[in-house]
Amino acid sequence: MNRNKPPRATREGSQSGLSRREFAQRAAFAAAGIAVAPGSSMGGPPPEPYSLPGPAQQTPSDTGLSPAAEAEAESKIQFILQKYGSRLNETQKADIRRLVKEGQKPLEKLRAYALENSDAPALVLHPEPAANRRKD
């Protein structure tokens, strides 16, 4: 028996206790942008969303975003706060909310620009051979 090889995972599950099925489900949720806490039951109810108390919270009409962009920004905020919320104070949470919503505005404009699969890039890099360069 070779002692340098790591022990193999069994069919019942890997050494970390994460089954292949659970790994695949978490990977699918991550690709879809849905946060799943490690060790949590995936069939249970979703966690309560975090919301800032008081007047610091903006309404969708204040941000100038479409309802779809507002919902996307809110889901990004919820993901960040769910993942790092215990490490952040209220000022940092308000900054995250503000920065995500500010970043959503140009993203919405960028997505509105229609592109076809056959559209060429606006800028093509044509590097010069080393022999053609000027010596400064």
- pLDDT for the residue numbered 74: 93
pLDDT of residue 13: 44
**pLDDT reported for residue 43:** 52
Handedness of CA 10, 11, 17, 23 (dihedral sign): positive
Residue by residue, pLDDT tens for the chain (136 residues) are 555 555 555 554 445 677 888 888 888 777 776 655 555 555 555 555 555 554 445 444 456 888 999 999 999 999 999 999 899 999 999 999 999 999 998 998 888 888 888 888 777 787 877 776 666 5
Q: How high is the pLDDT of residue 28? A: 78
The Cα 122–Cα 131 span in angstroms is 27
Listing DSSP states for 50-83 in one string gives P---GGGSPPHHHHT--HHHHHHHHHHHHHHHHH
Reported in sequence order, the residue ranges of 83-132 that DSSP labels E, i.e. its strands, are: none
Neighbours of 55 (CB within 10 A): 6
**Residues 93, 73: Cα–Cα separation, whole Å:** 14
pLDDT of residue 134: 67
pTM over 0.85: no
